[in-house]
Structure 1
Amino acid sequence: MSLYTSEREKRVERYLLTRCRELGLLCMKFTSPARGGVPDRIVVSHSGTVFVEVKRPGGILEPRQRAVHAKLRRFGAVVYVVDDESSVDALTNRLAGGGRRGPATAEGSTMTVADAAAATTTVTGQQQCETTDSGASRQEHTAAGDTDQSQPR
């Protein structure tokens, strides 16, 4: 990771921490010395606890991160990936508002995720990518950053 990439990711992470503080959410740094690929943050709200992976704008998950996120989901955890201020806003506003429903489409309905137990959701403003264990990627366009994590089956 270059210094420039690292700084861009740190800006997104600082913004996440700032927004969580503003909205009364608990945002903790998550590290696991014995296991790589774990999400960067744990966010605790009245609506639940979620893991958050922070990437630089346009950044992608490494294979090890995809595998760990999929494992967490199989155990019922909710994992988000944010990569810019609008995706942080969408996530924190949803958590502060108490909602934990599936991703909203432009019409406001909830989309079905074919393999929710093995998918990681990336909240990226206007678009949402789901990456499965096999690394396959699927994109759904959403309304003005209104994205959320579907519940595992």
Structure 2
Amino acid sequence: METEKDIETYFKKQITKAGGLCLKFTSPGVRGVPDRIAIFKGKTFFVELKRPGQKPRKDQEKMAKTFEKHGVKIYVIDTKTEAELFALKMKVGDL
């Protein structure tokens, strides 16, 4: 079974391969922030990575709602296929 780290590493490679920038996101003292920030052609995406089948924790769900109140979506990705699709959609402007 793939781990969250496997999915996160693969996601980073896909974003970089597409020509984007993929940064680890940390916010000291604030729980539940997404794992990664992907930047591509002036657009910024926040992404929570999970192992296959895993759902966000309560603090992560709460943070996602806070982001949404500010007009920002947090994407949740839990498979390599979803990572590939995200990178493709990001590249063609379909997100």
Q: Name the CA distance, whole Å, in 1 between partners of 2:44 and 2:77.
A: 16
Q: Name the CA distance, whole Å, in 2 between partners of 1:47 and 1:94.
A: 15
Q: Name the CA distance, whole Å, in 2 between partners of 1:61 and 1:21.
A: 24
List structure 1 runs of 4+ shifted beyond 2 angstroms. Answer: none
Instruction: Report the counterpart of residue 55 of structure 2 in structure 1.
Output: 60
For structure 2, the residue ranges without an aligned partner over 5 or more in a row are: none
> Do 1:27 and 1:43's aligned partners in 2 also have CA atoms closer than 8 Å?
yes
Q: Which has the larger radius of gyration?
A: 1
Secondary structure at 1:49 match in 2:
strand
> Over aligned residues, Cα RMSD in angstroms?
1.4
Amino acid at match of 1:75: H
Would you say how many aligned residue pairs link Structure 1 and Structure 2? 95
For structure 1, the residue ranges without an aligned partner over 5 or more in a row are: 101-153
Higher relative contact order at CA 8 Å, sep ≥6: structure 1 or structure 2? 2
Asked if 1:44 is matched to 2:36, the reply is no
Percent of aligned pairs with the same amino acid: 35
- When normalised by structure 1's length, the TM-score is 0.59
Bigger fraction of residues in helix: 2
Instruction: Report the counterpart of residue 84 of structure 2 in structure 1.
Output: 89
TM-superposition CA deviations, 1:122-148 (whole Å, max 9, x none): xxxxxxxxxxxxxxxxxxxxxxxxxxx
- When normalised by structure 2's length, the TM-score is 0.94
